[in-house]
Structure 1
Amino acid sequence: MPETSTSDTGGNAPDSRIDRLEQELDVVRAQRDAARRQVRALESSTAYRIGGKAAWLPRKLRGLRRRLTSRGEGAPVSGSQRGPQVAGESVSGQPTPFRAVPGTVSTVRVAEPDVSVVVPVHNSEAWLDDCLSSVLAQTGVTLEVICINDGSTDDSRAVLQRFADQDPRVSIIDQPNQGQSVGRNAGLDAAAGRYLIYLDSDDFWPDDTLAGLVRRADEQNLDVLMFDCYAFLDGTVAAATWKRYSTYYQRAHAYGEVRPGPQMIADMRRNRDYRPHVGMYIARTAFVRDSASRFIPGIIHQDNPYTFALLLNAERVAHTDADIYARRIRPGSTITTLHDARSVGGYFLSYVAMVREIQGREFTPEVTDMIAEVVYGVFDGASKKVASLTPSELAEVKALDGRPDAQLAFFALKKFRSR
């Protein structure tokens, strides 16, 4: 498929029009950031109420950006298609749940809820109100919220207890600080819901969307339903970081047709739309357990092998082109404070796990090529940072996995230090 073009969607837009649209982009970016500052100033705000205020600016920004580009495949997503929608409406002939059909909030805890929401928590006191309020405000669906307190040293535990005291759907699992992977695995083990979804404790859901996702997954008998996410800036981060993530989580195309997971990987990778962030997936809990998908303990970049394995094993996968998830880009988060040694180690173990996952499988040549690109992309993430590691840090990476295939991968990675 052709790469993204820098021409207007009409193909012959004059330079002056492109300049004007770029100016509009700058204005919208400024409006977006101003809106976020105003929202944060509201002392009594909750995520459910601020979602409507925060969401329209990123969508308008994305719509303007896409008017500057033309996409070469199938079902490109235009800005006009990405607004709030009622579950069951059709975009490009496919149902696209965004806002659930209005219902009621059930605060009763049931033995087998529709959805288990797993929220790993570590020193997230400042954002937990937004996060948990956005989940508990979901209507038309039964749910449980499993919060894993990962050795927090701030008042996160007290905030969690306040929510648990007020709403029986909230439960707390306490563990010593072992990292997000261990917390997510603990949540998976405890989940009683038919579906499983992960939410980071500093993020939230901007709209009432969960019932629509469940309805879509039920109607199409899906193993996995994927959706999109918008990022918003909360505080000062490096300009390069914000440039990378400001639109990273929004795919350029819709993939509403049900297909096997490996084919979905290939289709998304071909369009540079493949995104491993686990918060952008809802999956049948029984399927997740049957596929033995787990997070690798103690590493960052752990979403890469988990979601890759999830899709490889899935028979029925679809995607809805809607921004279900709001991703907070802030100082001090994992993605804004990446340490090169931890990053290389995480990518290294992720790469090894992904290679092992495809061993013995057969795909069509087209799917094989795209899956190879995804797997190599993780290795490439490690290779770009390995030169900055000290000898002792490099030795620590080598010691992460002593099996022959891992050591072969380490030998290949080590070659990049001399380049």
Structure 2
Amino acid sequence: MIMPPEISVIVPVHNAGPYLRDCVDSILAQTFTNLEIILVNDGSSDNSASICEEYREKDNRVTVIHQNYEGVSSARNTGVAAARGNYIGFVDGDDYIVPHMYEELHSLCENTDSDIAVCRLAREIDEKIINTAFNEFTKEMDHIEALRELFKGKLYRFSLCNKLFKKSCFHNIQFPEGRLHEDLSTTYRLFTNSSKTVFKEFIGYIYVKRSNSILTSTFSEKRLDAFTGWEEIVDYMTAEYPQLSDEVLAAFTYGCIDNMYYIMNQVEDRNKQQYFLSAIQQPVRKYYKEIITSSILNQKYKYLIRAINYDFRLLLYFNQIKRQLARA
């Protein structure tokens, strides 16, 4: 009788040919060997499908699923449905992981009876790691504290890929298909399905910044999908976890301000600037009273939120003057 794997690692694959071998090799090289790799080929038009098949023939721990292009959320949903492990992890097809990541995360879950284990992720730009871990420590958190840390964003953020989840966390949860920022829209719900989380200060996941990534290129309208996610988050969290309202609204505010700066600095067309900022203005107005009375946010952020709420054209005007002075 063949024993099922302990960990299922889901890799959504879409036109990842130049990077896919490095990704899969890093998973196969894990010191924790009782795992399966589920490669979900999401309608690739390059050689990704043949690379996936190459690895299926090479190692019996590799499963390949081919589907028409539906997007990364659909690929992840397909992978979760096929997963046989007690734990689930995610690796993007153009990133890679360090050899001991899953051994560490699995050990943390088992030794502390946690549903989620988290490590740091590092960013690689031009083949150089640009950030490193701090002094190593481990922190165990109950349900509420783990959610609070998620929204504070100091130990960890919404990325799925530096985390290992018990499969039970996915009960009644699906990734939102056709939407960018699917991590943002899903990770908090996985935490609400957990009882305990453990964080360890070590770098396990390497996020490779690509020049053609939608998240690293000129501002795209698809990035506004984040605000659909944020409205779901704020409405759900303030209703179910009112004790975390300040942290949730502060995280939402920081996201608004970040995107405001991206729009003003990356979008040249004035009409597009106004269109994008008006999309941010709508949810800001929905939560404006709660944001302004927050005990966490400082006056600088409250000033910027007031500007978005009342007349973001003033921000555009002052930003235009700033640009002109910089060019003078």
Shift of 1:343: 1.1
Preserved CA contact (<8 Å) 2:37 2:63: yes
2:195 matched to which residue of 1?
Answer: 315
1:203 has 2:95 as partner: yes
The Cα RMSD (Å) is 3.2
CA contact (8 A) 1:122 1:152 kept: yes
User: Counterparts of 1:169 and 1:123 in 2: how far apart (Å)?
Assistant: 22
Aligned to 1:246: 130
Following the alignment from structure 1 to structure 2, what is the Cα–Cα distance between the partners of residues 381 and 294? Answer: 27
Q: 1:266 aligns with which of 111, 131, 148?
A: 148
Q: Following superposition of structure 1 onto structure 2, how do residues 5-154 of structure 1 map, counting pairs within 5 Å?
A: 110=2, 112-154=4-46
- 2:236 is paired with a residue whose SS is helix
Q: Report the CA distance shift for 1:376/1:186 in structure 2 as closer, same or farther (over 3 A).
A: farther
CA distance, structure 2, for counterparts of residue 355 and residue 408 of structure 1: 14
Counterpart AA for 1:304: L
- Give SS of 1:200's match: coil
Q: Distance in 2 between matches of 1:416 and 1:160?
A: 51
Q: Could you tell me whether the CA contact under 8 Å between 1:110 and 1:142 is conserved in 2?
A: no
Is the partner of 2:240 in helix, strand or coil?
A: coil
Aligned with 1:179 (options 65, 71, 78):
71
- SS, match of residue 278 in structure 1: coil
Match runs of 1:294-373 below 5 Å: 294-344=174-224, 346-364=225-243, 367-373=244-250
User: Aligned pair in 2 of structure 1 residues 218, 273: CA closer, same or farther (>3 Å)?
Assistant: closer
Change (3 A) 1:342 1:415: farther
* 2:251 aligned with 1:374: yes
**In 1, Cα distance between the equivalents of 2:149 and 2:59?**
41
Distance in 2 (CA, whole Å) between partners of 1:204 and 1:190 is 22
- Listed one character per residue, the Cα deviations across residues 204-254 of structure 1 (whole Å, up to 9, x for unaligned) are 11223322321221121111111112221237xxxxxx9xx933xx66576
- Name whichever of 375-384 and 140-149 sits farther off: 375-384
Contact 1:111/1:192, CA 8 A, preserved across alignment: no
User: 1-side partners of 2:78 and 2:285: how far apart?
Assistant: 34
Note the residue ranges of structure 1 that are not aligned, 5 or more in a row: 1-108, 236-241, 399-405
Shift of 1:202: 0.8
Contact 1:181 1:298 (C-alpha < 8 Å) held by counterparts: yes
Give the AA of the match of 1:361.
Answer: E
CA 1:299–1:417: 2 relative to 1, 3 Å: farther
2:161 counterpart SS class: helix
- Alpha carbons of 1:257 and 1:178: their partners in 2 closer, same or farther (altered >3 Å)? same
Give the AA of the match of 2:283.
Answer: A
Task: String of CA shifts for 1:241-281, please: whole Å, max 9, x gaps.
Answer: x9xx933xx66576723212431343465573442211111
Aligned partner of 2:234: which letter? V
Quick one: which of 165, 168, 179 aligns to 1:286?
168
C-alpha displacement of 1:300: 2.0
Q: Which stretches in structure 2 are left out of the alignment for 5+ residues?
A: 287-307, 315-328
Distance change (3 Å), C-alpha of 1:167 and 1:414? farther
Q: Is 1:122–1:149's contact at 8 Å kept on the other side of the alignment?
A: yes
Q: What is the TM-score with the length of structure 1 in the denominator?
A: 0.61
Cα distance in 2, alignment partners of residues 321 and 416 from structure 1 = 42
Task: Return the TM-score normalized by structure 2.
Answer: 0.76
The structure-2 alpha-carbon separation of the partners of 1:173 and 1:357, relative to structure 1 and needing over 3 Å to count, comes to: farther
Residue number among 100, 116, 122 corresponding to 1:230 in the alignment: 122
- Cα offset, 1:305, TM superposition: 2.2
Q: Distance in 2 between matches of 1:338 and 1:313?
A: 36
Q: Structure 1's 339 and 111: CA in aligned 2 closer, same or farther, altered over 3 A?
A: farther
Cα gap change, 1:254/1:154 in structure 2, threshold over 3 Å: closer, same or farther? same
The 1:140/1:110 distance shift into structure 2, 3 A limit, reads farther
Deviation sequence 1:300-358 (CA, Å, 0-9, x none): 222112222222332200101111111112221233225331112x2211212212331
Contact 2:73–2:176 (Cα < 8 Å) also in 1: yes
Give the SS at the match of 1:279: coil
Q: Matches of 1:369 and 1:392 in 2, distance apart?
A: 29
Post-superposition CA distance 1:345-383 (Å, at most 9, x none): x2211212212331422354xx43223212333344444
Cα distance, 1:191 vs. partner?
1.1
Q: CA deviation at 1:299?
A: 2.3
Count of residue correspondences: 288
Structure 1 range deviating more: 310-319 or 334-343: 334-343
